[in-house]
Amino acid sequence: MLSSILRTVVISAIAVGVLLAAMYMLRDSQQARLIAELEAINADMTKRLAEKEAMLERLSRSRRVAHVHITDQIVDGTGQVTHTTFDFIELDDRGAELARQRFTIPGDILFIDTWTAKFSHEDVALGHPFRGRTLVLFRRVYSDRMAPRDGFPIDTPGAIPPGYAASAEGRLEQAIWKRFWEIAANPDVAREYGVRVAQGEVVYKPVRAGQSLELTVDAAGGLNLATLAPQERTFSQVR
């Protein structure tokens, strides 16, 4: 009788032990699964956040496309500037000089006339290989004392600018410049090329001898012409 009770107690104790062990194992398994799920969610959120940050960075990105260095000005007896001479220096994506032209315009207010083709914010944000940034074609420079049509040409309309001549996107850009006004006026043609806005853009401001200016273009926007502080000037501007 006693041995039977003892045997029952032992068996019960073993069963309880097995049950407790199973419960602990189940709990550990659930915890491990929960931890794995949380880690996967965290990794996915981190990836999505990095992608969003990259998209925002692309949308806010800008690039230098030209420098302007004012080399000389002629002043008359009344102190008025009659002529301004400057170097227009086109830059590649790394900021290196591509082409340099010297111009002289009447007066002291410099106008830079361009064509711009802007693509969808989605294409820019995703870093599309051909539509990931605003395209710019330099047209001419002039002053407020000249009619725009009498301005001095920088690039021939319809040609690929020097900076893009050897690039993979060159063919698309050439097609856009050749059909520029058609793209600008016809939404169907614009969609064919993925262009959001095609338009002429002019930036201008008064300048002084010795000044250097930087022309930048926003990835999803337009042009900016900023006057540089002396310490910001590069060797290519004053060479």
**Domain co-membership, 19 together with 75:** no
pLDDT in tens, 103-129: 999 999 999 999 999 998 787 777 777
The yes-or-no verdict on residue 154 having pLDDT over 60 is yes
> Mean per-residue pLDDT for 121-140?
81
The residue that leads in pLDDT, 162 or 78, is 78
Q: Which residues contact 140 (CB under 8 A, 6 or more apart)?
A: 113, 148, 151, 152, 153, 154
pLDDT digits (tens, 9 = 90+) for 191-237: 999 999 999 999 999 999 999 999 999 866 789 999 998 766 654 44
Claim to verify: residue 140 and residue 205 sit in the same structural domain:
yes
Give the pLDDT score at 80. Answer: 95
Confidence of residue 170 (pLDDT cuts 50, 70, 90): confident
- Residues 47 and 131 occupy one common structural domain: no
Question: How remote is the C-alpha of 129 from its chain's centroid?
Answer: 12
Judgement on whether residues 114 and 54 belong to the same structural domain of the protein: no
Q: Tell me the residue range of the domain where 148 lies.
A: 62-238
pTM: 0.71
Mark whether 76 and 42 lie in a shared domain. no
End residue of a domain, out of 29, 45, 60: 60
Domain closes at, from 60, 86, 105 = 60
- Residue 57 phi/psi, 5° resolution? -65, -40
Binned at pLDDT 50, 70 and 90, residue 148 comes out as: very high
Identify the residue with better confidence: 159 or 120. Answer: 120
Q: Is the domain of 184 the same as that of 150?
A: yes
Q: What is the mean pLDDT of the chain?
A: 80
Instruction: Please give the pLDDT value at position 94.
Output: 81
Same domain, 68 and 52: no
Q: Is the pLDDT of residue 4 over 80?
A: no
- Say which range, 10-19, 111-120, 136-145, has the weakest mean pLDDT: 10-19
Q: What is the pLDDT of residue 133?
A: 84
**Where a domain ends, among 30, 60, 90?**
60
